[in-house]
Structures are given as structure tokens and as C-alpha cells.
Structure 1
Amino acid sequence: MVPNTGVLTLPCHPDTVTFRPEDAEDAFCAAGLTISLLTPVKSWKLQFSGKLRLHSNPKDDPKDVKIDLHWVSNLPLFDYDTDMDVMTTAQAFAQEPWTRQYFQQLREHHQTHYEQMGHLQGYVTLDGESHNIYLPAFRDHSYGKLRDWRLMHRYVFHHIFLENGCKGVVGVVCQPSTCSRLVLGNWWCNSGKGAAVTWVDLDLKQHGERGTPPKDYAFTFIAGGEQHVVEVEVVASPQHYLGWDWEARMVETWVKYRVDGVSGAGICEWNYRHCEGRPEELNTQDPEWAAKYRPKYLAA
């Protein structure tokens, strides 16, 4: 989201399947974007050079964009394997029928996920005009035996950055094979102290269950024993698809937040299971060296 301009996307949007060069197996690079590790768990370098177009006007002339940013953090990771609230997790498991198959699915479908708050600093050049950037930011990483978007029915995650320095992630996940309702998140006060989210009153089935997320709503959550009231106003809501077969549809909303009366901004992700597949005309454009792996991906 660029102020006074709008949301910029790659020309291939809403498709997000991109490929690194065949000879760059050890690099994190695709579609003009390169991400380089500088210091583990501390800093990364992000660079982009290419064309982006306005999401609101795809037929408009693409813009020349160059990005040179550092992602930096002095905060610890929040690792959901170790840092989730035990009672909150137990309550999620307790809602499910306990069978041998259920616990086998818990083991098979487990994915490690961690998150980290930080900030981005550097330069963005848009059609030759350079802008100095310093923004609060967030990164996450998920991995497991199988990273399968098909397991999830829905989820919502709010990424919140307030003017007073408080920040956090608040979400609810519906993954029927493991937890029909799992509360997730972490909240950081401006002193740098973090706590797990233990309760959220947002009910997924009452918010966008038919595929269109709400644009003006509120909810309450608890973290570190303190209750917070969140007001949400959506500014823009482009959508894209995830996975080589478009297994998920993501509505990525840009949001104005208000938490306990304090203003802020951020994004909110509404994820939906998508079953209609990736268009074949896009599959035929995949590079030949990568296309041979697609059947194995689909069979996993």
C-alpha cells in the first residue's frame, strides 16, 4: 500500500506462484525479489527491481519500482511450539472428539510456526522518485512434514501496529483435521514485553463465512491477563491465491486499527480454502525445469 497511490501488485497477481532461476537453488529470489539473511533471527536484506501495477486499475501503465530495505528486530521469536498458552491449547484440543485417528492427524499435520516483530528501513523508488522508509514490520515462517494449505477451512489473523508502540498478532484458525477453533497470537507492549493471546471472542462463522470478510467490525482479546478491545476499519482488500494448485484464497486487507482507544494500522489476512484449482493457462507458462515437479506436489 503506497500513500496517495494505492496497492501495488506484480503483473501476475492474483497468482503468487513464482520461480527462482534454475541455477539459483540456494537463493531466496523470484520475480525480481531477493531476500538475503544478514544475521540469524536479527536482520535480513530485501531487494526488488521490476514492474508493479495498481491493484485497483490493472490496465494502467505498470510502475518502475526499486526496493532496498533492511528488516531488523531486537525482539525474540514467538514460537508457537513452545510459547502458546498451555490452557488455551488444551481447550482447543478438548473441543474435538478424541480418537486414535485424531491424535495421528495431530502428529501428521503438525507445522512449526514462529513470528517476530521488527521494522523495515531503507529506500523505495517509484517511477524514479525515491522515498525513505521506516516502518514497523512483521515476519513469520511455517514448516513441517507437509506444508499443506488444503488442511485449513479458514483463518483470520490481525497484524496490529499502534501509535504508542504496542503491536501484535491476533487470530483464529479453523483446521478441521486438528482444531475446529484454535486461538493464536502474541501481544507486545511498548516496553518490549510480550505475552501469548489466550482468548478471542471473534467467531469465524459469524464473520465472512460465505467468502466476503467484513469491513467494519470489532472484537475483544486477552493477552498477559489484560483485556483489549479492537476496532477494525478496512481500507483496501485485494485477494490472491496460494499454492501451486491455488489451494487457498487469501483476502489481504489493509486496515485502520483502534485498540483501547489508541489508533494504529496494519493488515488482516482472511484465508479461505479454494477448491477450483489454478487455471491451466497459467500452468502451461511454468518453466520447464519446474513443471516436472508439479505432479509430485499435487500428489503429496
Structure 2
Amino acid sequence: MYLFAAIFGGIAAVLLFIALIVAVLRLKSQLIFDIYPAKGVFYQLKYIIALWLVKRLRNKVYYTKDELNSPEFHAKIDRPQALGDDPQSYDVISFMGANDEGAKLIITLERRRRGVLKACLYLYLPEHGLFCTPKLPDMLYFTTDGKRENDEFKGCGFHVYPEESMRQWRIRYEGEMRNATDERKLLPVRLNMQFTTQAPFFYYNRDLSSAVIADSVAREAWNDAFYNLLKHVPEMVEKRKHYDQSGRLVGEVQLAERCFQLELRGFRDHSFGTERCLSNINRYVYVVLFLEDGSSMVVGNLSQPAFFLSSLKVGYVCTSQGVYEPITDCNYELYTYGEKGTPPRHKNFFVYTAKDKYLVQIEEQQSTVRYMGSDWSSKVYNQFVECTVNGKRGQGITEYLYKNKQSERPESVSASDPEWYKRVKSYERNLSKRKEEQNEVFLF
């Protein structure tokens, strides 16, 4: 009798303890600016659990797969990707570069269904100023009649393509550019550059530090919606592939009557999948720095509360030998840098890897604005900056994305859109109002 009572009492105590643990994990941390969760009282417990789960999952999914290092896999992911039937299919390639003299380059091309191309090109020359493609701050281009797909990063003067998987990409642009502060004067331009590298690639799904993922997850409330999301994490991750690669950008730019030979330390970013929804992103910041000793640094912080990642820090330090050291911690918090909608001109913060600690000091030289999304759902500031990292001087680019509360492309911009695209956007608006239309294809 007493034995059974002791057993049942022990079971009840264990169940009560489990119930208390579950209740603790569900607690919501204090929110900073009603968005960013602070580290709660039980943060350390949640961090330990999250770190164990992340490491276990990644070891099972990535570290046991030799195919990720095979030439076949490299060739498969390092080319323009086929856009599937999913209306959210996307394929994005970006390049950034800078040299010690202060010249800087940004080019981004995003392929979408029906030949839609979202593109930007910035060229910063210290003695001549900042130049950009004429259509900016709008990034929307149309490369087909809407009935055909575009299977290349090509159109409207752009052509970016791989010459050798994970080793060489060609970047070409022939068209016009203007000074970023003067919309009137257009200059003819021909850009022909090559990105080359011997470095491996940094595959975010596999190589991002487990510590920064655990930190972000441990700040969130582990409620029913969170547990439901966990069930679908493997398939959701597979829908979003993203990798970076450090290298060099070398080539020539003919701007009007002037010719510039450029040699830049470079960075390449390629991401593709079926779920790139800017409207779900609250904010993000990316900092890309190129230092005088040949090393580079990528630091970011992403706020996507809908995905239970209200403050996810990402990035790495790449040595001059092309070795990536993932960031394990950083005191760069979004709410302390430009939360009111304007990026700060000066930034100082610490970055940590498993081996080192870095003091990063940044000063803006010039800034510009562009809009992302078919409805201008996001506003992006690009800053062209000088920096010092642990006493080493460098040059770089920062990118601040904000959710655009006035998310609608102005009529003065959208008036020149092709008729088929206007019908699609009208269809989307009707869907948002729970109306239905026939004989149209949902695009974005």
C-alpha cells in the first residue's frame, strides 16, 4: 500500500516538475519596442536545450552528408536555378566589393516568375561620387512578355553568369547610369568584371554557428505556435538555400568618356528557394567589411518575429587564406542602431568567434535608398563606409532594411509597367480583399 503510494507520489512529482518546466518555457520575455525579446529569467536553460537540439538536427541533416562537398552538388547550386510552379520562387545573386582606395561596387539581381527581374547596381568612386542605374530607387524590370520565363540572370543591360562552378562568375552591364544625387544626367556605361575565388563557400544552413541560432530561439516564448513550427523546420530550411563566398572582383568600367580599372576584394551571395516573403521581415542589418590585411567580415542581424527569430545574429570572419570563422556572438542589437528608421552614421560594436574578439568601428561616407518588393514592401538604405577592426583599416558596405509602412509603388513609377503585370497586381489586391477573379495566374 505504502509502496504504491510512494510510486504514484513519485510519478506525480515528476509530472508536476515536467509541467512546471513546460510552463516556464512558454513564458514570454519582456519585449523591447514591442518586438525584440530580452533574455528572460530562464534564458540559460532554454539556451542549453536549444543548442543541443540545433546541433543534433544539423549533425543529422548536414554533417553526415558527403554530397555537400561533391562537384556535382557545387555545379547544381552554383548556377541560375529553375523557378518552379510556386508563386514565391526566387533566385538571387549579389556581389559586393571594395579596395583600399575606397572604390566600392554593389550589384544585385533577383529573378522571379514570368521574367520579372529586380536589379540594382551602385558604383562608388571616391573622386567622382556615387553612380547608380537610372531606375533606382525602384528595382523592378521586365525581361519577357510575361508569358515566358527567364532562365538566366540576364536582361535590361545585365548579364551575370558562372564561368566555372564555385570559382568564376562574369558580371556585365551595358546601359546607363547616373549620379545618385542627380536624376537628370544619364551617362553611358559598360561594365565587365570577373569574380574569382579559391575559397570554399559558407553554407548558412550548415555553417552558421549553432550558438547564434540557440541564442535567438532561447529568447522566444515556446508556445503552441512555436512547437508547431518546429515540426516543419527541416522542410522549411530546405526551401531556402543561401551561401556566401569570399574572393576578388577585377575588371573594367567605362563611364562616359572615362575608363576605370578596378581591383576589389569581393564577396558573393547566392540564395534561392520558394519562400522569400519580405512582408514577414521586420528589419535586418548586414555589414560587409574588407580589411587591409586581406581578411573580410560579414555581420548581420535579422528580425523576423513570424518565424520566431526576432533577433537572429549571423555572419563570419573570413581570413586572408579563405578560412571562415563563424560568429558566435555579437553585441549589435537592432534596437540600439537605427530603430526609428534612419541608420546611424557611426557604429561601434564587438564581434566574437570561437577564437577571437573584434572591435568594429564604422563611419559612413555616403548613403542611398532603394525599395524592395513588388509593392515596395521594404525600404533599404545602403551605406558606403570606412571602418577599423582591431586597429586594421578597411572599407565596406552596410545594408539596413526596414518594413515600409507606405508599401505601395507610386503611380509615377508603376505607370510604365506592362499591362499583364498590372492585371496580376490587381488580382493580388482582390485576393487580399477575399475576392476572386478568373483567368489569371497568381505570381507574387
Give the alignment's TM-score, normalised by structure 2. Answer: 0.64
Q: 1:26 aligns with which of 151, 159, 166?
A: 151
Deviation at 1:113, TM superposition (A): 2.0
Deviation of 1:251 after TM superposition, in Å, equals 0.3
Give 3-state SS (helix, strand or coil) of 2:141's partner: coil
Q: In structure 2, what is the equivalent of residue 281 of structure 1? A: 412
Partner of 2:258: 129
Shift of 1:48: 0.8
Partner of residue 104, structure 2: none
Residue deviations 1:217-238, cap 9 Å, x none?
2110012321000000000110
1:54 to 169, 179, 197: 179
Q: Deviations over 1:54-85 (max 9, x none)?
A: 112223x2111110111111111111100011
- Aligned counterpart for 1:90 among listed residues 214, 229, 237: 214
What does residue range 13-162 of structure 1 map to in structure 2 within 5 Å? 13-22=136-145, 25-59=150-184, 61-105=185-229, 107=232, 110=237, 111-162=240-291
Q: Distance in 2 between matches of 1:242 and 1:257?
A: 27
Shift of 1:165: 0.6
Moved more, 264-273 or 100-109: 100-109
| Change in 2 beyond 3 A, CA 1:286/1:183 | same
% identical equivalent positions: 28
- Does the CA contact (< 8 Å) of 2:172 and 2:193 recur in 1? yes
The residue type paired with residue 117 of structure 1 is S
Larger-Rg structure: 2
1:139 Cα offset (Å): 1.6
Counterpart code for 2:209? D
Give a deviation string over 1:226-258, Cα, whole Å, max 9, x none.
100000000011010011111111100001010
One-letter amino acid of the structure 1 residue matched with residue 208 of structure 2: M
- What's the CA shift for 1:289? 4.5
The answer to whether the 8 Å contact 2:247/2:267 transfers is: yes
Shift of 1:293: 4.1
Letter of the 1:124 partner, please give it: V
- Deviation, structure 1 residue 103: 4.4
- CA deviation string 1:87-137 (max 9, x = no partner): 221121111111332244564765332111111111110112222111111
**What amino acid maps onto 2:389 in structure 1?**
V
Structure 2: where are the runs of 5+ without partners?
A: 1-123, 432-443
Offset of residue 38 of structure 1: 1.1
Instruction: List gaps (5 residues or longer) in structure 1.
Output: none
Is 2:397 the counterpart of 1:267? yes
Whole-angstrom CA distance in 2 between matches of 1:41 and 1:75: 8
How far apart, CA to CA, are the structure 2 residues paired with 1:289 and 1:72?
Answer: 39
Distance in 2 between residues matched to 1:227 and 1:25, nearest whole Å: 45
How far residue 280 of structure 1 moved from its aligned partner, in angstroms, is: 2.8
Partner of 2:376: 246
Describe the shift of the 1:73–1:103 C-alpha distance in structure 2 as closer, same or farther (beyond 3 A): farther
Aligned to 1:169: 298
Tell me how far apart the structure 1 counterparts of residues 401 and 428 of structure 2 sit (CA, whole Å). 21
- C-alpha distance in 1, partners of 2:424/2:170? 29
Residue type at the aligned position of 2:252: Y
How much has 1:24 moved relative to structure 2? 6.8
Partner residue of 1:213 out of 343, 352, 377: 343
8 Å Cα contact 2:291/2:392 also seen in 1 = yes
Asked whether the equivalents of residues 20 and 28 of structure 1 are also in contact (C-alpha less than 8 Å), the reply is: no
1:134–1:103 distance in 2 versus 1, CA, 3 Å: farther
Distance 2:342 2:371 in 1: 15
Q: In structure 2, what is the Cα distance between the partners aligned to 1:295 and 1:95?
A: 40
Hey, what's the Cα distance between the residues in 1 that align with 2:424 and 2:164?
Answer: 32
Residue 292 of structure 1: how far off its partner (Å): 4.4
Distance in 2 separating the partners of 1:224 and 1:31: 44
Q: Distance in 2 between matches of 1:194 and 1:221?
A: 14
Higher helix share: 2
Alpha-carbon distance between aligned partners in 1 of 2:293 and 2:315, rounded to the nearest angstrom: 19
The superposition leaves residues 17-59 of structure 1 with CA deviations (integer Å, 9 ceiling, x where unpaired) of 1222446722212331111221122211111111111112223
Paired residues of 2:265 and 2:294 also in contact (CA < 8 A): no
Q: 1:297 & 1:15 partners in 2: Cα distance?
A: 20
1:70 to 1:293, Cα distance in 2 relative to 1, 3 A? farther
Aligned residue pairs total 299
The letter of the residue matching 1:140 is: D
